[in-house]
Amino acid sequence: MDQSAITVRYAKAFFSIAKEKKLLIELKTDIESVVGVCSQSADFSLLLESPIVKSSKKVELIKTIFSGNVNKLTLNFMLLITQNKREVHIPGICRNFLELTRKDQNIKSAVLTTASEVSNDTAQKIQELLGKELNATVELSTNVKPDILGGLVLRLDDKQYDASVATQLKKVKQNLLETEL
């Protein structure tokens, strides 16, 4: 079975249960914790990917790590995935679950890249403007990338708006080269 089909199928199943039991917010927080462990702990990722470690040992370790830290439903879901020998897909399942949750709650992700640090007040205003424009809640994260020279690059879901000085200079250079020929 295709890896993405596996992650989507498990994510949809867990999302349906979360909605049905009215625990979507709590389980979303749990899944964010799992994503945090997966991204911050190379050892945990290696454990999930290791074909040498038996599933029973992985189940024990997952219980040790997450028991008491996440809802019992989340823990049982992760144990089910592991018992079905799909534990390598846990990060992908979590990402798909969070994406389904964002769509359900009308939350858009945005990344603002600038040449220098943006104040929290400015970022907050941009977040509010985007929220009003899109009629959605916007999760805004900021990046600093000095090589764009100035301006900004706004990435909103799968679209990118590039108003950086570096891009404008490239366009001017390209126009000059085309007219020179």
Q: What is the pLDDT of residues 65-87, one digit of tens each?
A: 999 899 999 999 999 999 999 99
Q: Do domains 3-103 and 106-180 have the same CATH topology?
A: no
Mean pLDDT of 126-130: 93
137: helix, strand or coil: strand
Domain at 106-180, CATH from 3.30.2420, 1.20.1070, 1.10.260, 3.30.360: 3.30.360
The runs of H, that is alpha helices, within 41-164 are: 42-49, 55-66, 72-83, 90-104, 120-134
Give every strand in the sheet of 159-164, ordered side by side: 137-144, 107-114, 151-156, 159-164
Please state, in angstroms and rounded to a whole number, the distance separating the CA atoms of residues 139 and 154. Answer: 12
pLDDT of residue 1: 47
Domain 3-103: top CATH class: mainly alpha
**pTM score, whole prediction:** 0.77
Mean pLDDT of 128-146: 92
Pair 78, 34: CB distance under 8 Å:
yes
Residue ranges of the domains in the chain? 3-103, 106-180
Q: What is the pLDDT of residues 5-62, one digit of tens each?
A: 999 999 999 999 999 999 999 999 999 999 999 999 999 999 899 999 999 999 999 9
pLDDT for residue 132 is more than 90: yes
